[in-house]
Amino acid sequence: MKLRKAVFPAAGFGTRFLPVTKASPKEMLPLVDKPLIQYGVEEAVACGLREIILITGRGKSAIEDHFDYSLELDTILERRGHRDLLEEMRKISNMSICYTRQKEPLGLGHAILCARPLVHDEAFAVFLGDEVLDAPIPVMAQMLAVYERQGCSILAVQRVPREQVFRYGVIEGEPAGNGLYRVRDVVEKPQPEEAPSDLAIIGRYILTPPIFDILEQTPAGKNGEIQLTDAIRGLLRDQAVYALEFEGQRFDAGDKLGFLQANIVFALKRPDLGPELRQFLRTLRLG
């Protein structure tokens, strides 16, 4: 069956980005002129995933407002003749999105479990919104092509410097050609000396429905949270899982440096901003 559903966990506190995230969701931080979450949602829609499920929490209502109609704004744009902007606003508010809440901050695995009543019994995609991926072919489309062949869970992975593996879920995999690995094990946030490889899981997953039963049974792991990586380890006992080393550049926009880098790269590509920004950057005479 074709994948239809995309789950976006968006209940986290954004502690890496305080103080701006004290009263505003990190998912609403602007990447040039669109909130981070919109990039992920557009990637999902571009890949044919039409049912978007957002897992939010307290203090996240700005996300719902963003994807809602704003009659006042539409009226003003129409009156002032801003047709392009109006069309863009309508595209955003026409997306079909369901919301559910993660009521306690019990981890990524628990957030995914909150989506169960909306996903039911079918395979689904997961997008971590602070991972911004700039790729010639959307990363989820690259993963869907593998899913169509393999019919099992697929993880997006990328090589990271060894000393940074403690920030990620890390796979042990057997190369299967064309950037694909048959996953043998996964470990959440290992110390560099314990890590099975330098292939880190990067914010995009395709998961099969048995993950939910496993998540129900998964105890708190790293940092006292229910970890999705631990549940994927459980999935490996019964099912094949593949990891795809995708083509594209990744920015960790939940991190201040990654966010600034993403903003510069994305703005440089914009015809309305790029040339002047490039000129300005030249004046900085960076060492």
- If binding is defined by CB under 6 A, does position 131 make contact with ligand G1P? yes
Across the strands, what pairs with 53? 7, 98
* Helices first, then strands: H and E counts in the chain: 11, 13
**Of 35 and 252, CB closest to ligand G1P:** 252
C-beta of 200: minimal distance to ligand G1P in Å? 5
49, 147 Cβ separation under 8 angstroms: no
- Specify the stretch interacting with ligand G1P by CB under 6 A; choose among 26-34, 144-152, 223-231, 276-284: 223-231
- If binding is defined by CB under 6 A, does position 200 make contact with ligand G1P? yes
Q: Where are the alpha helices (DSSP H) in the chain?
A: 36-46, 61-66, 71-79, 83-93, 108-114, 116-119, 139-150, 210-217, 228-235, 256-268, 274-283
- If binding is defined by CB under 6 A, does position 203 make contact with ligand G1P? yes
Secondary structure of residue 206 in the 3-state scheme: strand
**Of 41 and 171, CB closest to ligand G1P:** 171
- If binding is defined by CB under 6 A, does position 39 make contact with ligand G1P? no
- The one-letter amino acid code at 168 reads Y
22, 127 Cβ separation under 8 angstroms: no
Residue from 188, 198, 230, 245 touching ligand G1P (CB under 6 A): that is 188
- If binding is defined by CB under 6 A, does position 108 make contact with ligand G1P? yes
User: What number of other Cβ atoms are within 10 A of residue 5's Cβ?
Assistant: 20
**Of 40 and 203, CB closest to ligand G1P:** 203
Residue from 28, 29, 187, 202 touching ligand G1P (CB under 6 A): that is 202
CA dihedral 221, 167, 108, 229 (to 10 degrees): -60
Residue with structure tokens 């992920």? 40
C-beta of 96: minimal distance to ligand G1P in Å? 26
Query: What values do phi and psi take at 130, rounded to 5?
Result: -85, -5
- Specify the stretch interacting with ligand G1P by CB under 6 A; choose among 139-147, 172-180, 198-206, 276-284: 198-206
Residue from 168, 181, 205, 246 touching ligand G1P (CB under 6 A): that is 168
Residue from 169, 187, 206, 215 touching ligand G1P (CB under 6 A): that is 169
Contacting positions for ligand G1P (CB under 6 A)? 108, 128, 131, 168-169, 188, 200-203, 227-229
